[in-house]
Amino acid sequence: MTERLREDLDTFAEEHGYTGRSEVIREACHSLLEEYQESDYEDRRVLMTVTAVFGYDEPEIERRMMDIRHEFEGSIRSNSHNCLRGNAGCVETFVVEAAYQDVLHFIGTVRGADESVSVEYSVVPVDGNDTAASDK
């Protein structure tokens, strides 16, 4: 864990009334595990939009995003890379169509690219069953 991440966790804990960094980490772990619990999308084909934000001029992260595009090219329907104004960061957007378990694997891979990558996604089933979209 980088020093900056530790400092950010300590600041977050203080600003939000947590007793310390470990309590923030524990709650984050519970949230992540709940996210991957069985859902209405189990055994379904879904369309997922994934947005990853990371620091500007981070060649290692950009290289890793390129590797991810190649690794999942069979499931990626669309991909774009944009730089935010004022060198505020970069945004990598993916549209992925695959079995639900496969898109969860994709999200985990993007999140694992670097600890500084922030990832958000939304899911829509595309297999003909009617279920509302989900945002994470």
Q: What is the pLDDT of residues 102-135, one digit of tens each?
A: 999 999 999 888 877 889 999 888 987 654 445 5
Task: State how far the alpha carbon of 89 is from the alpha carbons of 17, 49, 110, 114, in Å.
Answer: 29, 19, 16, 14
At 90-99, the pLDDT tens digits run 899 999 999 9
At 39-66, the pLDDT tens digits run 677 888 999 999 999 887 778 888 899 9
Return the pLDDT at 36.
57
Contact (Cβ atoms closer than 8 angstroms) between residue 37 and residue 99: no
Q: How far apart are CA 27 and CA 22, in angstroms?
A: 9
Indicate the range of 3-17, 27-41, 62-76 predicted with least confidence.
Answer: 27-41
The type of residue at 101 is Q
- pTM (two decimals): 0.68
Q: Which residue has the tokens 């519970």?
A: 30
Return the pLDDT at 15.
83
Q: How far apart are CA 90 and CA 86, in angstroms?
A: 11
Question: Cα 64 vs. chain centroid, distance in angstroms?
Answer: 14
Domain 45-125 top-level CATH class: alpha beta
* Beta strands at 90-99 and 118-125: parallel, antiparallel or unpaired: unpaired
